[in-house]
């Protein structure tokens, strides 16, 4: 006997009204007054029944419900189609603490809920059922379940779940797609949140792969076909948050690829730094059925095919005919697959991108002598949709070890480099960076010489020589250079720490120069240090010579020993010091010089014995010459000290008597180390009258005055002489004139 169950509040009231069916499905109603417990009425019960019958049945139902708790319907979990085309229904049994279970009633409908068929299941522990009589490939099959207890009470209906009915048809416009369409598994209720679809495709035969995934909502999907003339099966899986997967029927058709591959994304057009060839690189097409790539060259508005690169993963082309050193090179890339379509049939070929990818041309770098700057500029990289984010400038002085010199904004096309190697060949290239890590392209390589003005390869202060009184001549040797240089001669005396500039000379190709210092010198009182500082034509001080220190000579006349004692400071600073010293002497106030003697380099003292030169004026001048040993330039130098003059004190011998006609018949003084030009001798009589006068040291007085012999007696005299330095020496006294008879 069939009964009509009432539904509980969680299942909205609905009445299934099949037109024809073997069995009339239950009618559902709700009795809130009975706490949502179902009441079963015979299908023939109607408004003609008396109220008493209704009350009796109602009391009977209430009494039966009180005997044991009314059973719930099974919790319907999954409805899916297995690989054999059968429908599998999964559920969770209801709780039955009183063992009141009698049967499950499985209701199915293949016409969208208009007509329902019933299947009775007697096993309480059963959790699934395979409906082998259903045909889910023809339409969607919907299911719900109820539970009947041993008292004949029927539970409310479970949720209704349907198989998803999938159809697959080839697309018409555009061609090359499989159009998938399916029905919803939820006939009366909304789908649960969090449900997701997986699109499954069988290819090759026996292998299923997920070809698309998305959230619940649409009931159609277009899948691009990437095989040629194959029968392809598809299935839709709906993944519920409960963990159940609802599978549709398997549907398929003969499908073929009629769409072109996705446009390859060109990632870079770079210049090979070693060969100057252009390397075009791109990402693999997003269409895995790509068979080859077509590379186009852009020449203004003209685009021409230059080569084909075969293989889906071969994503690089080297243009051996490109000339990226003279102009930027531009390229486009398209892809084609293995399938043929159209009339006549031809491979499906993608279009190219809209913008030609264009290499960077780095122009020759410009260097301005003495500016310490290299200026480079380049053309922009073109082709990336989002443009260049930055440019990197790379620099090397050996064309091997490149260092990042600067990272610049993507709109900057020039750079001034200051940290380069002078007197070197500098190498530069520029790298464009895009938003994607794969988007990087380098320019051609350029080199620029950065000569630095040559200074002399060697420079040497050869001597600092006192050539005149308070005059120093500085001689400098240098290796000639083609570039003009300024040579700053600097001086420092004993009392100062700082160097003073004396004079500046400009020379380029000369091997030596001399500078004469006449400014505020006192070479007899102190020594002076000299050096030469080299300034190149860029105004940089690039070298400094050794120091040359003058010699100071001093002399003392020892009148008791009749020697002149000399001492001098050592000369400094030659490469190998002084090899020796030469002592020169002059007897004519320095007009002519005679080499007197030589000493070794560690001796700075000498004594000149002048005892055999009594009859000279006694004026002696000396100078010392320091003599260098070997040096780098192979030209030993010498340096003179100041001239030091000393004078011996005149020696005077005056007889005190003479006898005309006798042994000493005349009278005159004898002098030495005196200047004869300054000689004056006067003899006076007793009254003070001068009776004899001579300026000739060799002239004697014969005792006469105006031709007449003077009387015997004592006569006064006055003698005046000067030494070699002009100092006056006076002598007075008396001479006795005696008669020789």
Q: When comparing pLDDT for 243 and 51, which is higher? A: 243
Cis peptide before 90 (omega within 30 of 0): no
The answer to whether residue 62 is domain-embedded is yes
Residue 461: what pLDDT?
Answer: 95
Judge whether 538 and 453 are in contact, CB under 8 Å.
yes
> Does the pLDDT of residue 4 top 50, yes or no?
no
What pLDDT digit, counting tens, does each position of 76-100 carry?
A: 999 999 999 999 999 999 999 999 9
463 shares a domain with 443 = no
Sign of CA dihedral 367, 370, 371, 374: positive
Residue 503 and residue 422 share a domain: no
Checking if the pLDDT of 473 tops 70, the result is yes
Domain boundary among 94, 129, 162: 162
Tell me the DSSP string of 320-341.
TT--TTTS--EEEEEEEEEEEE
Give the pLDDT mean for 254-266. 90
CA distance 51 to 49: 7
Same domain, 576 and 539: no
Task: Give residue-wise pLDDT tens across range 575-606.
Answer: 989 999 999 999 988 899 999 999 999 999 99
Total count of residues recorded for the chain: 741
pLDDT at 41: 33
More confident residue, 363 or 342: 363
DSSP string for 378-447: BPPPB--TT---EEEEEEESSSSS-EEEEEEETT--EEEE-S--TTEEEEEEEEEE-SSTT-EEE---EE
Nearest to 676, CA basis, from 645, 721, 718, 719:
721
CB count in 10 Å sphere of residue 153: 23
Distance of CA 27 to the CA centre of its chain: 83
Q: Are residues 598 and 620 in the same domain?
A: yes
% the chain with pLDDT above 70: 90
Question: What is the C-alpha separation between 251 and 473, in angstroms, rounded?
Answer: 112
What are 215's two structure tokens?
């959230």
Q: Which tokens hold the place of 254?
A: 């003969």
pLDDT at 541 exceeding the cut of 80: yes
Quote the CA–CA distance of 537 and 415 in Å, as a whole number: 26
Mean pLDDT, residues 677-701: 94
Q: How far is CA 64 from the centre of its chain?
A: 90
In a shared domain, residues 228 and 302: no
How distant, in Å, are the alpha carbons of 80, 189, 309, 391, 528 from that of 196? 15, 17, 40, 44, 99
The separation between CA 50 and the C-alpha centre of its own chain, rounded to angstroms, equals: 101
The CA-based diameter of the chain, rounded to the nearest angstrom, is 219
Residue 689 lies in a domain: yes
**H/E run at residue 60:** helix 51-67
* Stretch 165-175: mean pLDDT: 91
| 8 Å CB contact between 110 and 18 | no
Helix/strand/coil (H/E/C) assignment for every residue in 288-321: CCEEEEEEEEEECCEEEEEEEEECCCCCEEEECC
Q: What is the pLDDT of residue 741?
A: 61
Please check whether residues 147 and 39 belong to one and the same domain.
yes
* pLDDT one-digit tens code per residue, 13-42: 333 333 333 444 443 333 333 233 333 333
The proportion of the chain whose per-residue pLDDT surpasses 90, expressed as a percent, equals 69
Q: Say if CB 718 and CB 663 are below 8 A apart.
A: no
Angle at 488 between CA 549 and CA 476, to 5 degrees: 55
Stretch 439-467: mean pLDDT: 93
pLDDT tens per residue, range 511-537: 999 999 999 999 999 999 999 999 998
pLDDT for residue 344 is more than 90:
no
Cα 91 to the center of its chain, rounded Å: 67
In a domain, 18, yes or no: no
Residues with Cβ within 8 Å of residue 63, at least 6 apart in sequence: none
639 and 656 within one domain: no
609 has which bridge partners?
Answer: 563
Mean pLDDT computed over every residue of the chain: 88
Q: In this structure, what CATH number is given to the domain that contains residue 561?
A: 2.60.40.10
Which pLDDT value is given to residue 273? 96
Tell me the pLDDT band of 190, cut-offs 50, 70 and 90.
Answer: confident
Picking from 303, 330, 358, the residue at the C-terminal end of a domain is 358
Is residue 51 situated within a structural domain?
yes
pLDDT-derived band of residue 142, with 50, 70 and 90 as boundaries?
very high
Does residue 22 belong to any structural domain of this protein? no
pLDDT of residue 1: 31
Confidence of residue 68 (pLDDT cuts 50, 70, 90): low
CB 359 within 8 A of CB 391: no
* Encoded tokens for 362: 């780095």
Of 491, 444, 498, 452, nearest in space to 471 by CA: 491
Of the candidates 412, 293, 433, 304, the one whose C-alpha atom is nearest the C-alpha of residue 356 is: 304
d(CA 596, CA 587): 12
Instruction: Output the pTM of the full model.
Output: 0.56
Distance CA 418, CA 405 (A): 10
Within a domain: 13: no
One domain, residues 56 and 154: yes
Q: What ranges in 20-126 are assigned the alpha helix state H?
A: 51-67
Instruction: Kindly tell me if the per-residue pLDDT of 463 is higher than 80.
Output: yes
pLDDT tens-digit map of 635-664: 899 999 999 999 998 889 999 999 998 888
Contacts for 228 with CB less than 8 Å, ≥ 6 apart:
256, 257, 338, 339, 340
Task: Judge if 618 and 657 occupy the same domain.
Answer: no
Quote the number of domains for the chain: 7
How far is residue 158's CA from residue 129's CA, in Å, rounded to a whole number? Answer: 15
Residue 207 binned pLDDT confidence (cut-offs 50, 70, 90): very high
Taking residues 528-553, what's their average pLDDT?
94
Q: Say whether both 232 and 288 belong to one domain.
A: no
Three-class DSSP category at 32? helix
562, pLDDT greater than 70: yes
**pLDDT band at residue 630, thresholds of 50, 70 and 90?**
confident
Q: Is the pLDDT of residue 366 over 90?
A: no
Judgement on whether residues 274 and 243 belong to the same structural domain of the protein: no
Give the rounded distance of the alpha carbon of 233 from its chain centre: 56
Between 188 and 569, whose confidence is greater?
A: 569
Residue with tokens 């960076």: 433
E strand map for 96-141: 101-109, 117-121, 128-131
- Give the pLDDT score at 527: 95
Q: Higher-confidence residue: 226 or 637?
A: 637
Which residues span the domain enclosing 709? 651-737
| Residue 183 Cα distances to 163, 420, 565, angstroms | 8, 72, 132
Give the C-alpha separation, 593 to 595, whole Å: 7
Query: Is 128 in the same domain as 36?
Result: yes
**Token code pair at residue 657:** 């008597």
Extract the tokens encoding 499. Answer: 């160097």
pLDDT of residue 664: 86
Q: Which residue has the higher pLDDT, 426 or 60?
A: 426
- Choose the final residue of a domain: 647, 666, 687: 647
Closest CA to 547 of 471, 489, 622: 489
How far is 261 from 51, CA to CA, in rounded Å? 76
The two three-digit tokens of residue 509, written as one number: 């190709």
In degrees and rounded to multiples of 5, residue 281 shows phi and psi of -125, 145
Q: Is residue 16 part of a domain?
A: no
pLDDT of residue 453: 86
Q: Could you tell me which residue, 51 or 325, shows the higher pLDDT?
A: 325
Query: CB–CB of 470/457 below 8 Å?
Result: no
Looking at the predicted structure, is the pLDDT value of residue 610 above 80? yes
Query: Greater confidence, 362 or 44?
Result: 362
- Asked if residue 656 is part of any domain, the answer here is yes
């Amino acid at each position: 006997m069939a009964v009509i169950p009432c539904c509980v509040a969680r299942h909205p009231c609905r009445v299934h009204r099949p037109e024809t069916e073997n069995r009339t499905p239950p009618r559902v109603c709700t009795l809130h007054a009975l706490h949502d417990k179902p009441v079963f009425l015979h299908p023939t019960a109607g408004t003609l029944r008396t109220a008493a019958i209704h009350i009796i049945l109602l009391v009977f139902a209430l009494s039966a419900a009180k005997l044991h708790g009314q059973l719930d319907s099974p919790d319907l979990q999954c409805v899916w189609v297995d690989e054999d085309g059968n429908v599998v229904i999964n559920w969770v049994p209801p709780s039955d603490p009183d063992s009141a279970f009698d049967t499950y009633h499985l209701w199915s409908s293949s016409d969208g809920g208009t007509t329902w068929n019933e299947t009775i299941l007697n096993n309480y522990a059963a959790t699934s059922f395979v409906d082998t009589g259903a045909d889910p490939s023809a339409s969607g099959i919907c299911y719900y379940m109820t539970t009947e207890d041993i008292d004949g009470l029927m539970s409310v209906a479970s949720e209704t779940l349907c198989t998803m009915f999938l159809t697959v048809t080839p697309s018409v416009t555009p061609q090359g797609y499989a159009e998938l369409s399916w029905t919803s598994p939820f006939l009366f209720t909304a789908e649960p949140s969090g449900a997701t679809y997986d699109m499954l495709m069988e290819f090759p035969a026996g292998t299923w792969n997920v070809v698309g995934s998305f959230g619940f909502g649409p009931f159609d999907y277009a899948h691009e076909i990437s095989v040629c003339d194959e029968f392809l099966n598809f299935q839709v899986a709906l993944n519920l948050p409960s963990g159940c997967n609802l599978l549709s029927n398997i549907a398929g058709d003969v499908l073929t690829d009629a769409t072109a591959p996705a446009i390859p994304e060109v990632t870079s057009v770079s210049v090979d730094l070693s060969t100057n060839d252009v390397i075009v690189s791109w990402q693999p097409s997003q269409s895995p059925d790509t068979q080859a790539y077509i590379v186009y060259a852009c020449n203004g508005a003209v685009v021409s095919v230059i080569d084909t690169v075969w293989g889906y993963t071969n994503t690089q082309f080297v243009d051996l005919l490109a000339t990226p050193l003279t102009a930027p090179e531009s390229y486009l890339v398209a892809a084609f697959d293995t399938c043929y379509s159209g009339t006549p049939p031809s491979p499906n070929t993608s279009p190219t991108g809209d913008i030609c990818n264009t290499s960077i041309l780095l122009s020759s770098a410009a260097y301005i002598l003495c500016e310490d700057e290299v200026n480079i500029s380049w053309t922009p990289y073109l082709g990336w949709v989002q443009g260049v984010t930055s440019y990197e400038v790379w620099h090397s002085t050996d064309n091997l070890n490149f260092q990042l010199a600067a990272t610049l904004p993507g709109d900057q096309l020039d750079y001034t480099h200051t940290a380069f190697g002078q007197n070197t060949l500098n190498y530069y290239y520029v790298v464009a960076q895009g938003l994607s890590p794969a988007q990087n392209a380098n320019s051609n390589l350029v080199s620029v010489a950065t000569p630095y003005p040559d200074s002399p390869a060697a420079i040497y202060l050869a001597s600092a020589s006192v050539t005149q009184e308070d005059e120093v001549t500085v001689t400098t040797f240098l290796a000639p250079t083609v570039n003009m240089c300024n040579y700053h001669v600097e001086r420092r005396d004993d009392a100062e720490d700082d160097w003073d500039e004396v004079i500046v000379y400009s020379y380029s190709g000369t091997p030596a120069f001399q500078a004469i210092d006449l400014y505020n010198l006192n070479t007899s009182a102190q020594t002076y240090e000299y050096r030469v500082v080299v300034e190149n034509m860029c105004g940089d001080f690039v070298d400094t010579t050794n120091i040359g220190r003058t010699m100071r000579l001093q002399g003392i006349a020892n009148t008791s020993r009749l020697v002149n004692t000399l001492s001098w400071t050592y000369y400094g600073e030659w490469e190998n010091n002084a090899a020796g010293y030469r002592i020169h002497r002059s007897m004519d106030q320095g007009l002519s010089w005679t080499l007197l003697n030589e000493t070794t380099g560690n001796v700075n003292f000498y004594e000149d014995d002048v005892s055999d030169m009594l009859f000279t004026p006694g004026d002696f001048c000396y100078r010392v010459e320091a003599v260098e040993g070997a040096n780098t330039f192979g030209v030993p130098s010498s340096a003179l000290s100041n001239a030091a003059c000393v004078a011996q004190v005149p020696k005077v011998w005056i007889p005190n008597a003479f006898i005309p006609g006798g042994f000493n018949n005349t009278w005159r003084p004898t002098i030495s180390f005196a200047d004869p030009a300054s000689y004056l001798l006067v003899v006076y009589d007793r009254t003070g009258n001068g009776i004899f006068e001579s300026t000739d040291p060799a002239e004697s007085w014969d005792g006469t005055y105006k031709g007449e012999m003077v009387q015997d007696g004592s006569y006064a005299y006055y003698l005046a002489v000067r030494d070699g330095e002009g100092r006056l020496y006076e002598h007075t006294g008396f001479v006795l004139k005696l008669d020789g008879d």
